[in-house]
């Protein structure tokens, strides 16, 4: 029996758009059809991010701390920080140490008596929707002192890249999410086109089923707990 021997199946955005329109019982004809499909896809990616954590979107990061500075702007591809540890005396074989940091809410931070206290940072809170172009910011308490050098190692949820303009682009998702992407986009399109509205309930059902299958496959099947020593690549 002859097989292809390849494992590189992928769909570009043009293929995904065409598949979604076909599932909705429509034809992809005009430039406007491409634009509205791309807009719906970007909205769907935001919906996925709002649904919560997927391990494929978790990345590692680090941030050097400066004495007297509590706020650190992170890059705009970072949506949230889910785990952090403080490394003291980074690179010193005799003194380097990793310590777990506790995440607090803005409400808890606001109740701290002295926000200017300096010392070894033990807590952090994530500032979201600050309006700054860089996106979220990491705030630490106490404010770092100059007694030691400090670096935060952390795990963050990475934002899914936009669909972009060229139809030849590939989506920023693993291959196992492609059925979910095609199903979801078909549902989104059916909500905007009156002639496809009768298919919307069925397409929504298929979309939900595909999301559950993909999200379940993406979860870590083993029990785990993140500890400071686990940041092996930092």
Q: What is the pTM of this model?
A: 0.64
Query: Per-residue confidence of the chain (234 residues) as pLDDT tens digits?
Result: 777 777 767 788 888 999 999 999 999 888 889 899 999 998 998 898 888 756 667 889 999 999 999 999 998 888 889 899 999 999 888 889 999 999 999 899 999 999 999 999 999 999 986 555 557 899 999 999 999 999 999 998 887 776 666 555 666 678 888 899 999 999 999 999 999 999 999 999 999 999 999 888 766 555 545 554 444 444
DSSP conformational letter for 222: S
Structure tokens at 9: 């199946």
Q: Distance between CA 204 and CA 157 in Å, rounded?
A: 26
The domain limits of the chain are: 13-53+161-218, 56-159
- CB burial readout 113-143, b (16+ within 10 A) else e: eeeeebeebebbbbbeeeeeeebbbbbbbbb
Tally the C-alpha atoms within 13 A of residue 179's C-alpha that lie toward its C-beta. Answer: 11
């Amino acid at each position: 029996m002859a097989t292809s021997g390849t494992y590189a199946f992928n769909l570009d955005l043009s293929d995904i758009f065409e598949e979604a329109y076909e599932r909705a019982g429509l034809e992809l004809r005009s430039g406007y059809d491409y634009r509205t499909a791309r807009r719906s896809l970007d909205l769907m990616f935001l919906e996925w991010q709002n649904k919560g954590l997927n391990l494929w979107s978790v990345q590692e990061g680090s941030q050097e701390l400066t004495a007297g500075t509590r706020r650190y702007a992170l890059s705009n591809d970072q949506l949230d920080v889910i785990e952090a540890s403080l490394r003291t005396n980074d690179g010193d074989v005799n003194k380097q140490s990793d310590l777990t940091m506790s995440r607090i809410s803005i409400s808890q931070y606001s109740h701290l008596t002295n926000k200017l206290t300096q010392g070894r940072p033990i807590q952090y809170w994530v500032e979201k929707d600050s309006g700054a172009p860089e996106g979220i910011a990491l705030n630490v308490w106490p404010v770092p002192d100059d007694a030691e050098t400090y670096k935060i190692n952390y795990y963050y949820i990475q934002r899914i890249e936009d669909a972009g303009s060229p139809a030849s682009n590939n989506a920023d998702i693993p291959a196992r999410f492609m059925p979910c992407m095609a199903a979801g986009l078909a549902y989104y399109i059916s909500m905007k086109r009156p002639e496809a509205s009768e298919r919307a309930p069925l397409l929504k059902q298929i979309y939900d089923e595909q999301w559950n299958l993909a999200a379940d496959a993406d979860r870590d099947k083993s029990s785990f707990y993140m500890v400071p020593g686990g940041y092996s690549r930092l």
